[in-house]
Amino acid sequence: MGIFAKIAAGEIPSYKCAENDEFYAFLDINPLVKGHTLVIPRREVDYIFDMEDDELARFEVFAKKVAVAIKAAFPCVKVGQAVLGLEVPHAHIHLIPMQSEKDMNFANPKLSLPAEEMQAIADKIYKEFSK
Ligand code: AMP
């Protein structure tokens, strides 16, 4: 099993932001900004565009709900969405609360936040998602 599948299965710790039977959302460990979240399918699939239409549609609808929760927890202009997948071969959507387009630049230096702050950020998003 790959690292993200293990995260979704709870075998590797993560800062959980949202979940349902099929999908899981957790904080990016090296966020571009506070609230930078990854959304993944629980099942192992590398390339997002290999997903069947129905699954991809459900994935995006789940990501939308997570984005709404992120925006409520971390007021921003919009939540940006990006798919790279160059590092981890398990489909994932990056959701990033943006104040400007600069926040979406993956070449920016990443934040390294203390564990307590990461937990507090995840809890805030989880609370909004669960409303
Ligand atoms: P990419 O595959 O290019 O979209 O990049 C993978 C992303 O996953 C990067 O932003 C990493 O910081 C993030 N990442 C890698 N391992 C973990 C992990 N164990 N927990 C949370 N985020 C991770």
**131 residues of the chain, pLDDT tens digit each:** 999 999 999 999 999 999 999 999 999 999 999 999 999 999 999 999 999 999 999 999 999 999 999 999 999 999 999 999 999 999 999 999 999 999 999 999 999 999 999 999 999 999 999 99
Q: What pLDDT score was predicted for residue 121?
A: 98
pTM of the model: 0.98
Q: What pLDDT score was predicted for residue 106?
A: 98
CA–chain centroid gap for 22, Å, is 14
Report the C-alpha gap between 73 and 2 in whole angstroms: 30
* 19 C-beta closer than 6 A to ligand 1: no
* 84 C-beta closer than 6 A to ligand 1: yes
Q: For ligand 1, what atom is nearest to the CA of residue 82?
A: 4
Report the C-alpha gap between 54 and 52 in whole angstroms: 6
The CA-atom distances, in angstroms, between 66 and each of 11, 49, 94 are: 22, 20, 11
To the query of whether residue 92 is one of the catalytic residues in this protein, the response is: yes
Report the C-alpha gap between 86 and 77 in whole angstroms: 27
